[in-house]
Amino acid sequence: MKSVDFQILCELMKNSRQSDRQLAKKIGISQPTITRRRTMLEKEVIAEYTIIPVWEKLGYEIFAITLIKIRQHIGSEEKYNNTRMKGLNWLKKQPNVIMAGGCRGMGVDSFMISLHKSYKDYDDFMRKHRLELGEFCEDIQCVLVNLAGKEIVKPLQLKCLAEDEQTQE
């Protein structure tokens, strides 16, 4: 990746609402060059533009990290593929799951990150998960973060990553 593309990405992680003119001024190159490079980045590197809200102001109290160990001996390859599809379809129907996938370490092989408005909401979600997919899970471990609590010392922000990357150059 070209250095200018990396600089554009870092600036957009800090504030994706910046105009090409503002980016050009910050980076020190022409606005048409920024526009061309940004268009290329949007096609090849940038998945989407989004916001990170103040979750508790939207009524979300719990950020859950769920670690799952899938049963190793599900059966035939066909049964494994059917099980996998059932899991993928279930996940796609869960609007509060913001990220999920395979992982390695700590004796688990899958994870999901979800947001919940209350402990009851989280408990209902996990009950549905166990009813739908529990037979395929050997173990489920969860870490719950109180979004409205005083323990959040660094909120989720991509601009922190961008600032760190730029200081390492």
Segment 61-115, tens digit of pLDDT: 999 999 999 887 777 788 878 888 888 999 999 999 999 999 999 999 999 999 9
pLDDT for 167 equals: 62
pLDDT for 149 equals: 81
Q: Which CATH class is domain 55-146?
A: alpha beta
Q: Where are the domains of the chain?
A: 3-51, 55-146
pLDDT interval class at 22 (50, 70, 90): very high
Q: Give the span between the Cα atoms of 22 and 41, in whole angstroms.
A: 17
The answer to whether the predicted template modeling score (pTM) of the entire model surpasses 0.85 is no
pLDDT for 83 equals: 82
Q: Give the span between the Cα atoms of 152 and 122, in whole angstroms.
A: 19
Helix (H, G, I), strand (E, B) or coil at 73: coil
Q: What mean pLDDT comes out for the span 17-40?
A: 96
**Look-up of token digits 């533009």:** 49
pLDDT for 135 equals: 83
Q: Give the span between the Cα atoms of 47 and 143, in whole angstroms.
A: 27
Q: What is the DSSP code string of 114-152? A: EEESSHHHHHHHHHHHHHHHGGGEEEEEEEEEETTSS--
Alpha helix stretches (DSSP H) within 15-157: 20-27, 31-44, 77-92, 119-133
Around 163, how many Cα atoms within 13 Å sit in the side-chain half-sphere? 6
User: Under a CB-based contact definition with an 8 Å cutoff, are residues 67 and 113 in contact?
Assistant: no
Which numeric CATH code is attached to 3-51?
1.10.10.10
| Closest residue by Cα to residue 156 from 113, 103, 110, 112 | 113
User: pLDDT digit string (tens) for 32-70?
Assistant: 999 999 999 999 999 999 888 888 899 999 999 999 998
Q: Do domains 3-51 and 55-146 have the same CATH topology?
A: no
